[in-house]
A and B are shown apart, each in its own frame.
Chain A
Amino acid sequence: MKKIVLILFSLVVCGFASVIGLDALGEEQIAGGMASTAGRGYAGGAKTGDAEGLSVLNPARNAFDTKVVFNVNFLLEMVALEKHGDNFGVNNITMPSFNLSFPMGGFGAMGLSLWQTYSSNIDEEVSEGKNSIETSIEYQSSIYEIVPSYTLRLPVIRNFALGASAHVVMGNSMRKISMGPNTEGLPDSDTWAVKKIEVSDYVDGTWEIKNHPAYYTVALQYRGHQSSFYFSYTTPHTLLNELSYNFRMSELDTLAPTKKSREIEVPALIATGMNFRFMKRNNVMLDLAARGWDKDIENVGGSFNMEPVTKTQKDMLVALGLQRDGSPLFYDPYLDRITYRLGGWYKTWYVKDVYELGGSLGAGFPLGRKGTTLDLSFQGGKRFADSGRAWDEIFLGFRIGLMGVGNWGQTR
């Protein structure tokens, strides 16, 4: 196991994920990007069990857990950008989230998650025509949230649990576009002055929430004998991205930066989901989430012909999933102990006219007898972008989740 983790860490190099919305917020890691949830098409927010762990959209769920769960998620994503039949592709490896949930029996359950909600990533170079200097583009922007949560089963109606979480936002962003001179407009006698001079448009900044320490989610979860459901509401908030723009010759030869900040008003998010269990260990689940973006998002932009704003639309997720839980009995055949998952989702992005359709296949392999699980999921799909700037994207995702289960604090 150590070796696997080491290999994964050594592969965590920032590269390229979706490039839609690079200048706005970037790509969203739906539902915390957990491998187990992704395996069933991001559905299953309402599914309860003894070690389901934290759900970032549904902080009430883990009130019904009985075991401490810690999980780490990795994502390897391959994206092909396509327009008029031409395409190019790139890879990205990232860690969308860490989650820890800690049930305390009658005292409810606590949870803590580190979640990369949005990220913009690209680092590519292009040599164009006669210019001897390559044009390079690099984005490194991550909005991280630290999400502490608490949930409690209600006193009389013990089938219900109420949970809340606070999202403390942090992160940083960087964009660097380097290029050589375009001397087409210059007379030949003047080109000597700019030969081989590379200039970088450089923007860096930090992310936080304007005027608040955090934004919040409250959720209500019902666990029935066969069906469960949840409803959650996340407060609207304003993201503040303080940026400093530079136009520099090198890292040492810079200008005094122009400091500006952009504010992104993120509307409220409502999410709901249900899970129906049949034939003991089989589940069918449906999740819905919607966030009604109503204002344009101001872009990092600021340079060349880059767009100043990103137009938005209603951001919606419809996810449908199937899961066959693995047998909890250690002496059952191994194949029977594996959890099998299947799902599909349809998502409208916050970026106008961008739709994503995807399907996934997942499995959870129990390791040893303590309940430690390795979750794998394969995802594939397409993002349809109708706008001129964004291109269609075909993506393949490969997620790995390492889930550790313990029984701290539990009496036998």
Chain B
Amino acid sequence: MKKILFVYLLLLALALSACIFDSDETVMADWLADQGVPGGYEVQTLSIDGLTPISSAVFMDSTPKLANDRAVLGRAANISHDIVFDIAFYDSVFFADLKNADSATAYLAMYVLRPFYSSKSYPTDSLPLKEDLALNISWSLDKGSSMAFVDSVGDISDSLWLARLAKWKAKSTVDTTISISVSAKDTIVKIALPSELLSAMKKLSKACHLQLKLSASEAARTYRFYGAGTSYYPKLWVVFPKEKSYSEYDPYRMAQIVSNKETCSDCAVLHGGVYDSLVLEYESAPIMKALSDFYGDDFPYTEGNGDDVRQTVILAQLTFARDDSQGSSELGLPIQVVVGSYTDSSGKSVRQMESYRLNKSLIATKGHPNMVFYDGDSLTLQVTYGMRDFINRARDGRNFKMMMRMGYPVLLPKDSTYSDRITSKKDTSYVFFSHFDHSRYDFTSSLKQPATMKLWLANKRGNE
């Protein structure tokens, strides 16, 4: 009984407290103001003019990459794209037939990437593509005698195969010229393989492992094909005209190898569709001086451990001069420049990709500010994470470092929703074209002109 009474007492006390001491938000806000807590943090903008990088460097990843999805052959924007096929099969009947046949021919059948060439965004007037393609075909052919041999090829992991490819030397090489044509209706490109390859195969009897590389580094353009992992995988055909028969083999996997043919080593040139990046480094002093003039405090911060939390960067954007005549593109679409910056992670510098905050009214009237091959003469990139980290830790004398690379072509340059969506019952409108443009953009002259950093800063200092 007493226990129940006690529980009632407690509940009564709580109920009483709710009635007597009712919280009033406006009074609470007054109290907060009396404690020196404002209703919102102060936001100020600061523009820092005249920034030029103290260093700029281009890095390109030319290690072989798996091309089981899409494969590119040819050359565009001073980048040559080669394809390597990994083919292995066990077929003693085929090798017996091949030995007896004297008129056998071999060729590769590759399916062109129809979604790219038939896309609305692809300039239709550039089709048909016709070219006498100077092709270098090189290969290495290994002899095997069992199914186990073929399996052992499959047992090599993709990453190991790619790593070996980087050091791979073909045993035989043949230069040839083929006539290539891709029109609106074409689906297949046939690449005749040299007779030297067939005569080498004649020496085998049961199984083989063929690594075949196609290189067209003097081509006028690039040609895009389906990769080995798709249902339109390339096929190796060996035709026996007299016997009216053929054998067909498909590649186990494919790799893409790109090589940079740029001649200017100091130029800040970025390419679309390959893994390259432009890394810029800006000196600390002018930024620190601008902050110091703005706040009237010492920068970098020296109290405590020196990590500065007096303010934080809500948004930072860096605006460069832009001259599109310094670049070339296949599709003529605007291309987004992707940005990352180098921030600190437990004492290590890591590259962090920047997020992109939308200035909707600007985008609706002038388009996204972070595109090249578009109207206007400036390129504005957001480097919020980088600047936030840089100002926070500037005490150790670090410089501000950022990275940019070419992104996807933009289909909706003035669309401020910035997301793919269904526009009517049937039609989906996409922000980006899902294929890279093999473009080239030279930032050398842009970087020589001073850039402007604009910062939105949240301030924690008191103003009394």
> Residues of A at under 8 Å CB distance from B?
1, 3-4, 7, 11, 19, 22-23, 76, 78-81, 83, 86-91, 124, 126-129, 131, 133, 135, 137, 177, 179-183, 185-186, 189-190, 192-194, 197, 199, 201, 245-249, 255-260, 302-307, 365, 374, 388-389, 391, 396, 398
Contacts and interface: CB of A to CB of B under 8 A. Distances in A.
B6 interface: yes
Contacts of B359: 192-193
Given A124-B28, A126-B28, A258-B303, A185 B42 contact: yes
A257 B304 CA distance: 10
Contacts of B344: 256
Nearest to A128: B39
B44 interface: yes
A144 to B, nearest CB: 25
Contacts of B312: 199, 247-249, 255
Nearest to A188: B361
Interface in B149-171: none
Contacts of B28: 88, 124, 126
Given A182-B42, A304-B460, A396 B309 contact: no
A394 B34 CA distance: 18
B35 A88 contact: no
Given A126-B28, A193-B456, A389-B35, A135 B20 contact: no
Contacts of B35: 22-23, 306, 389
Contact of B41 (A129, A181, A374): A181
A78 B21 contact: yes
Contacts of B31: 19, 81, 83, 88, 391
Given A89-B21, A259-B307, 20 more contacts: A78-B16, A79-B21, A128-B40, A179-B39, A180-B41, A181-B314, A185-B44, A190-B456, A192-B362, A193-B315, A193-B357, A194-B315, A247-B460, A248-B312, A255-B307, A255-B388, A256-B344, A304-B37, A305-B37, A305-B462
B30 A91 contact: no
Interface in B17-41: 17, 20-25, 27-32, 34-41
A305 to B, nearest CB: 3
A201 B307 CA distance: 15
A38 to B, nearest CB: 15
Contacts of A186: 43-45
A181 B28 CA distance: 19
Contact of A182 (B16, B40, B307, B392): B40
7 contacts: A3-B3, A22-B35, A78-B21, A124-B28, A179-B41, A192-B359, A246-B309
Interface string B303-344: 111111111101100000000000000000000000000001
B301 interface: yes
Contacts of A128: 29, 39-40
B297 interface: no
Contacts of B304: 245, 258-260
B45 A190 contact: yes
A53 to B, nearest CB: 21
Contacts of A91: 14, 17, 21
A193 B461 CA distance: 21
Contacts of B463: 305
Which among B21, B37, B45, B310 has the highest number of chain A CB atoms within 10 Å?
A: B21
Q: Which 4 pairs between the two chains have the least Cβ-Cβ distance?
A: A89-B21, A182-B40, A305-B36, A306-B36
A3 B3 CA distance: 9
B40 A181 contact: yes
A134 to B, nearest CB: 9
A295 to B, nearest CB: 21
B60 interface: no
B30 A86 contact: yes
B314 A255 contact: no
Contacts, number: 197
Given A135-B37, A186-B45, A303-B460, A258 B309 contact: yes
Nearest to A178: B41
A78 B14 CA distance: 9
Contacts of A3: 3, 7
A35 B360 CA distance: 61
The B contact surface, by secondary structure, is mixed
B303 A182 contact: no
A90 B306 CA distance: 38
A260 B301 CA distance: 13
A182 B459 CA distance: 10
A76 B13 contact: yes
Contacts of A78: 13, 16-17, 20-21
Given A76-B13, A124-B28, A89 B20 contact: yes
A89 B23 contact: yes
A200 B392 CA distance: 15
Contacts of B388: 255
Given A76-B13, A193-B314, A182 B38 contact: yes
A306 B462 contact: yes
B12 to A, nearest CB: 10
Contacts of A86: 24, 27, 30
Nearest to B363: A192
Contacts of A182: 38-43
A180 B40 contact: yes
B360 A245 contact: no
Given A1-B3, A186-B45, A304-B460, A247 B37 contact: no
B266 interface: no
Which among A193, A256, A259 has the highest number of chain B CB atoms within 10 Å?
A: A193
Nearest to A183: B43
Contacts of B39: 128-129, 131, 135, 179, 182
Nearest to A260: B304
A14 to B, nearest CB: 16
Contact of B23 (A90, A189, A388): A90
A99 B178 CA distance: 94
B196 to A, nearest CB: 60
Contacts of A181: 40-41, 43, 314, 458
B393 interface: yes
Contacts of B308: 255, 258
B2 to A, nearest CB: 7
Nearest to A191: B43
B462 to A, nearest CB: 4
A247 B314 CA distance: 11
B191 to A, nearest CB: 51
A104 B261 CA distance: 92
A391 B32 CA distance: 11
A137 B37 contact: yes
A388 B30 CA distance: 12
Contacts of B24: 86-88
Contacts of A391: 31, 34
A338 to B, nearest CB: 11
B10 interface: yes
B102 to A, nearest CB: 70
B243 interface: no
Contacts of A388: 34
Contacts of B464: 305
